Chain A
Amino acid sequence: MEQKSILDSGKYLVTLQDRVSYLADIKGGFEWGNLKELFERVQELRTNLFEYSERELLQQIYSLEGRIEFAERQVAKRLRPIEIVNIVRSVQRFTLLDILENCYDSFTELGGDGEFNIDPAVIAARATITRRVKNRLYYHQVMVIGHEKGMGEEFRNGGCAKPWGNEKALRYMKVAETEGIPIHFYIFTPGAYPIEDYPGAAQQIARNLFEMAKLRVPMISFISEGGSGGAEAIGLADMRLMASRGYYSVISPEGAAAIEGRIKEGGKVPRKLVEHCAEQLKMTAKDNLELGTIDRIVEEPPLGAKRSDFKFFKRLRYEMVRATDEVVLKTKSFRAFRAYALRRQSQDKEKVFNDEFDIHIKWTLSESEKDRLLEIRSKKYRAMGKGFKVLKRPFSKRLTRFWESTRHKYYDIRYGLLRKQSKNLQKILEEVSSEGSVIFKTVTESMRAAYDFVFPAPQKPAQTSQQDPLRRSIFMQDWEQYISPLANEDRTVTCPNAEKYGCKDLWVPDLYGEYSGVCPTCGHHFPLEYQWYLENLFDKGSVREFNTQIVSDNPLGFKGFDEKLKKAIERTRRGSAIITFDAEVLGIKLVVAMLYSDFRSGTVGSAEGEKFIRACDRARTTRRPFLAYIHTTGGIRIHEGTLGVIQMPRCTLAVREYIDSGGLYIVVYDNNSYAGPVASFLGCSPYQVGIRSSRIGFAGPRVIRETTGTDVPPDYHKARNALKRGHIQGIWDRREFRKNLFEALMTMGGPNLYYK
């Protein structure tokens, strides 16, 4: 204990008071141990500072400090997940501005200054970070983007980025890409600010993910508070670091507890349930490292780093530089360099730690290295979040594998090798012919004849089935064969718009039979089961399901979830909330992924993510359009924790690769589509459509009310408003779904329908 003078004692007592308050923050109040007494003692000393002699005062301070240290050790001995959440939320925890001040040598904030900012919750800054090599300093330019919680600054919204804040982040990511400098992301958010104002919370996160999937610069992210979708908006990085006392979770423990305990709006969530959920969600750094959703933990002091923990900032700077080095080195082919990447200083030996580096590495990448960077990123995310079960099929397994590889080769040859040559040759022929030279005409004609013989023009399915498909009635006899089981009731129902439009009561067999669940007066769409679409949307007998062997699991061992999962499987006789299949619409072959409501409200977990990615890849291999029909999705499955959240970047990456390779991706929303999936792999589609009466958004009205404190109009999430805000591109009537889909495939797909 260092010697203190009476002159410092006032200041020192403030520090002691902060330390006690910090412990109270962690423990959720002063009730734990002797915190209350300690706090009162410090208060008393501060008030009566001059009543004591110097010696007495110092003695009191030393004794108090000893007791506080003991209490700190006791708390640090066993930190429960909820206490880690409390550490993260404490006002004494470091924020992004502290990092910018202490880890970077200089920085210029872009697109805002404090309160004068498009969104003060998001900070973008151009910064320099130094590396010391044998007592020489080297400077690196980086773009720093992250959330600022602004402890005590109300206008920061606690680090909840509004849609335009995420848009700002994206804008500066693109600036970094243009300049070819790495990006350091710092995630300090409890979640995105859930509003639908343009560009919309979900839409903007989806756009960010879509761009980040193929951003051609190294990206490193550091997570202190990773709240679900808000975190992902700047989280898809090549290397993901996490603070040892941070949390990264699919939902806040309070939110999870409200869902698990079915607590009504405004009701008090029991503290025990919140603590239970915090444990079950596996949100700590250690848990996340085990789950593979992060790459590395940056060690903090036992009770978490505070704003003045300069040792920690030194460590963090070293780790960020190191992580960037590693990402850059992985794109190089020098083995020696890569070996260097493995020699990282151990984090445990704090005493021997120094921030000196062996060599200087430049962070600029050549074009081929950038390609490799994207390749590594794709592989990395594809290998993550595999918390699903694969059912064994011993007899057919080999056969399936053989069939898949043959299929792959066939399509590679058909659309890869041959198509490339054919395209090149065709291009030459077109160029030569366009000269209009009479001399060459005879030559080219004979050449074209030869070309047509070698590469006969493939019969386009669209053309073969185009014998007036539009004039053919879509209400043919095969429509009448499937009747919704909902129609088997002899009663009437009232349309919800009856008061407004004077709709008459509807007899159920009529409504779900002849009217296809649509009110004949106002056009309100009553929900229909997903089987109706399987039967009525696609050509008869064309639906062929695949990847049924991938089924949902309980990867976190969430208590009570096994039974819920079992019930869902028994009730639906399916293994996951997604059905992936090949199908045809008026002769056009396509690959479809369908999220449906009966299985855990269409929530997305590892199995759903994996099946979606495989469906996307299948569409890419077979060069077919890809339809995501969302019967209902309630978001990411909270019982799978971050393994569910990681499906957002994973699936978006797969979608990006599919679209980049020339595919046509159409998303159709029905009933209710909310949260994570809409904010990632669905929202990133250039063509999104809503079925009438559907609701689309980021967070439901209750979450909006509870988070923002403002109410939203009852039609806030309606498809019509989503159309007004520019989220979707159209609204389709259910009865014309098939016709509209066909038209969309023909017009949007056009000549690129099968392959660019």
Chain B
Amino acid sequence: MSINLNDLLRKYKSHPYEDHEILAPHTGVVKFKVEEGQAVKGPSGQWLHRPGTLLYILEREKNPKRITSRFDGIVTDLRVDLDGKFVEAGQPLMLIRHRLNKQEITNRILKEVLHIFPAPERARYFFTPEISAKFEKGKTKSLSVKTGDEIVIMSLMKRDTTLNYEGPSGVLYEVYFKNGDILEQGAPLFGVCLPERLPFVEKVIQRIKTEWDD
């Protein structure tokens, strides 16, 4: 697997956005409730129970349906010409352009360049005592792992299982949980960086941190 970090960085530099195309879910008459360039919000609240900004109303068979935004961003490419007209299902209506912040770009780049080790089951996770001790001493950046190493303990119903690392040897670069967290199945536990890639990765992250405007 060869990844050109410069290309990756250039890609985000040239287009630091995530575009969400808003398509009509079904046929109906559309009435826009936003304007070009307007900032919209996605769902909010602890349980994302407060709907986002109202984008448009799609009416079919006397059933006006309120379509709200599912993302934070700015409205672009709004098809004003379709306002008050009948549209087909799948018709693009607007674009919601979400500007990625430092953290989001860093996470995306890391997910692409690191080898991610996922949680095999929904359980409580701990690092093994040896790894924890190294963490306490602040030796995380030089922590090398290889296939077969005991790294994480999965605790489920008072049954502890030690998980052996499987994957390319490298440095434990990013940890996505705190000792004792309950994680869902498939959630990332940690990411391992290949030793040869390490200097580049660090450089890129550093550049994002210093150069990027939030």
- Interface pair A494/B65, CB less than 8 Å apart: yes
Check if B45 is an interface residue, CB within 8 A of chain A. Answer: yes
- Interface pair A494/B63, CB less than 8 Å apart: yes
- Interface pair B65/A711, CB less than 8 Å apart: no
Complex: how many Å from CA A507 to CA B47? 31
Could you say which of A168-176, A485-493, A592-600 contacts chain B?
A: A485-493
- Interface pair A507/B61, CB less than 8 Å apart: yes
- Interface pair A713/B62, CB less than 8 Å apart: no
Check if B46 is an interface residue, CB within 8 A of chain A. Answer: yes
B residues less than 8 Å from A507 (CB atoms): 61
- Interface pair A505/B60, CB less than 8 Å apart: yes
Check if B158 is an interface residue, CB within 8 A of chain A. Answer: no
* Contact sample, A vs B, 8 pairs, CB 8 Å cutoff: A489-B62, A491-B61, A492-B60, A492-B61, A492-B63, A494-B65, A711-B45, A711-B46
Write out, one digit per residue, whether chain B residues 104-147 have a CB within 8 A of any chain A CB (1) or not (0).
Answer: 00000000000000000000000000000000000000000000
- Interface pair A491/B63, CB less than 8 Å apart: yes
Check if A456 is an interface residue, CB within 8 A of chain B. Answer: no
B residues less than 8 Å from A713 (CB atoms): 46-47, 49
- Interface pair A714/B62, CB less than 8 Å apart: no
A residues less than 8 Å from B61 (CB atoms): 490-492, 505, 507
Q: Which of A21-48 contact B (CB under 8 A)?
A: none
Interface size class of B (residues with CB under 8 A): 10 to 19
Q: Which of B34-49 contact A (CB under 8 A)?
A: 45-47, 49
Select from chain A the residue with minimum beta-carbon distance to B48.
A714
- A residues within 8 Å of B by Cβ? 489-494, 505, 507, 711, 713-714
B residues less than 8 Å from A711 (CB atoms): 45-46
Distance (whole angstroms) from the CB of B72 to the closest CB of chain A: 18
Say what secondary structure dominates the interface of chain A. loop
Distance (whole angstroms) from the CB of B70 to the closest CB of chain A: 9
Shortest Cβ-Cβ A-B pairs, 4 listed: A491-B62, A714-B49, A492-B61, A492-B63
Select from chain A the residue with minimum beta-carbon distance to B45.
A711
Select from chain B the residue with minimum beta-carbon distance to A505.
B63
Can you name 6 extra interface pairs (CB under 8 A) apart from A489-B62, A505-B26, A505-B61?
A490-B61, A490-B62, A491-B61, A491-B63, A492-B61, A714-B49
Complex: how many Å from CA A492 to CA B61? 6
Distance (whole angstroms) from the CB of B24 to the closest CB of chain A: 14
B residues less than 8 Å from A491 (CB atoms): 61-63
- Interface pair B45/A492, CB less than 8 Å apart: no
Distance (whole angstroms) from the CB of B54 to the closest CB of chain A: 15
B residues less than 8 Å from A494 (CB atoms): 63, 65
Complex: how many Å from CA A505 to CA B45? 27
Q: Which of B49-65 contact A (CB under 8 A)?
A: 49, 60-63, 65
Distance (whole angstroms) from the CB of B120 to the closest CB of chain A: 27
Select from chain B the residue with minimum beta-carbon distance to A713.
B47
Complex: how many Å from CA A494 to CA B47? 22
Complex: how many Å from CA A300 to CA B45? 48
Complex: how many Å from CA A507 to CA B61? 9
Distance (whole angstroms) from the CB of A348 to the closest CB of chain B: 57
Select from chain A the residue with minimum beta-carbon distance to B50.
A714
Select from chain B the residue with minimum beta-carbon distance to A490.
B62
A residues less than 8 Å from B49 (CB atoms): 713-714
B residues less than 8 Å from A505 (CB atoms): 26, 60-61, 63
- Interface pair A492/B62, CB less than 8 Å apart: yes
B residues less than 8 Å from A492 (CB atoms): 60-63
A residues less than 8 Å from B63 (CB atoms): 491-494, 505
Distance (whole angstroms) from the CB of A641 to the closest CB of chain B: 35
Distance (whole angstroms) from the CB of A497 to the closest CB of chain B: 14
Complex: how many Å from CA A490 to CA B61? 8
B residues less than 8 Å from A490 (CB atoms): 61-62
- Interface pair B65/A714, CB less than 8 Å apart: no
Complex: how many Å from CA A507 to CA B49? 27
Complex: how many Å from CA A490 to CA B60? 12
Complex: how many Å from CA A711 to CA B65? 27
Complex: how many Å from CA A493 to CA B61? 9
Select from chain A the residue with minimum beta-carbon distance to B63.
A492
Complex: how many Å from CA A490 to CA B62? 8
Complex: how many Å from CA A713 to CA B49? 8
Complex: how many Å from CA A711 to CA B47? 10
